[in-house]
Chain A
Amino acid sequence: MTGTGLPPASADALLFDYLLRLADSDIVLAQRLGEWVGKGPVLEEDIAQTNVGLDLLGQGRLWLAYAGEVEARYATRGRDENELAYFRDGSEYRNLLLVEQPNGSYADTLVRQFLYDAWHLRMLDALARSRDERIAAIAAKASKEVRYHVERSSGWVVRLGDGTDESHVRMQRALDALWMYTGELFAADASDDALVAAGIATDVTALREPWRQAVGDVLAEATLAMPSDGWMQGVRGRGGRQGVHSEHLGQLLAVMQSLPRAMPDARW
């Protein structure tokens, strides 16, 4: 990898970590959505939610596979996608704090999804212009899928926000509770800065205003109030993307990783 001004091995280590950051948010959110399988409020939603989770899992695997190849360029060996997903502990996970938050009610799940989708789409569209061809290819493909995710979650935010008194209250409560995790979506650290300078990563700070605009439009249609930006979690270089997580991630991973860890070489 060139353009960071760092020795190749250090630059590859940065890229590896960046790819984990992309992969892990997809994988963790896919796992959360998987918790809903068979328990959706209606059949169509159960299927929709599962499909979204499946897309995210597929995208996460593409990022992880690339991460393993990059790791092999500077480490003794590169781990494959399974090893990366199942044999890293919580502190080695690099996902956003937002996506590891518990499912809660359907309102909590949908608001979490909506906030992420609106960010995810803009992130991928920007990454589709990355100087790293592999990143650009994965992002361009994933973006097409995430378009559906945004349409779905936006539609539900409007229906439930502007629905019954009860659904409105629940949506607003979920929004107020999850808002403090949105600061991290636009927080860059030194590692991001180096990759942005090399034209490989996206400058997330530039995505903030377009995201606020898009989210604000949907919330207005949903008769929901956009919370004011108060205390934000994970924005001072100590958040999910640096491996500092909420208590919820450990529990999620314990479920997700239990089988491969109990039987490391299990084959279907």
Chain B
Amino acid sequence: MRAGEAVIWGALAGVPDPELPFVSVVELGIVRAVEPIPDVAPARGITPARGTDPIPATARWRVVVTPTFSGCPATRVIEADIRTALDAVAPGACEIVTRLAPPWSTDAIAPEARRKLAQAGIAPPAFRCTAAAVTRSGAAAALARGAAAVACPRCGSQHTREVSRFGSTPCKAQFRCDDCLEPFDHFKPH
């Protein structure tokens, strides 16, 4: 890792998702990359962060982000929060660019974040979306598929059912546990 990049990643790791404040935008896979921008004028006013490696005066960085769902209202807040965090450690040194391809997937969610989701009462995505899992199928098959392996985050029971594919935010589906009878959110595999 280049000098300074760790500082940028450190700042990004401290930016929580506005809807899921116990996980960071890095853990959710919203931050795709931090890339050095070569051959540009030196950035002004670089402030080394507390106890971390200082950023060389010439370093500029491109922070690549990707939206989760196209219509997610949190997208703008997330970008503003990232901007604030970056300006705190490296004012004027970072540009934020949005990159759509390849589309964001829940496969990008870090294992640690999956654990945090479950701890917060949100069942993490029940399967990975790469390859065969995402096929075009009938509604009945999809419901069965979605409900197949979603464990209740409260009691651990596998006897759960999908109430609605659409939940409190675009990324979540509404579920219900048939054993403890509690409703819960499932971070839908996407």
Contact = CB atoms under 8 A, between A and B. Distances in A.
A137 B181 CA distance: 41
B51 interface: no
Main secondary structure of the interface of A (DSSP, over half): helix
A199 interface: no
Contact of B164 (A44, A59, A141): A44
Interface in A11-63: 44-45, 47-48, 50-59, 61-62
A141 B70 contact: yes
A158 B101 contact: no
Given A44-B174, A55-B170, A136 B101 contact: yes
Interface of B is mostly: loop
A204 B72 CA distance: 29
B21 interface: no
A207 interface: no
Interface residues of B, number: 29
Interface string B92-106: 000000001111110
Interface in A121-147: 121, 133, 136-138, 140-142, 144-145, 147
B120 interface: no
Interface of B: 67, 69-73, 100-105, 134, 136, 138-140, 142-143, 163-168, 170, 174, 188, 190
Given A141-B103, A152-B139, 11 more contacts: A44-B163, A47-B166, A48-B164, A54-B73, A57-B71, A59-B71, A140-B102, A144-B105, A145-B170, A148-B188, A158-B139
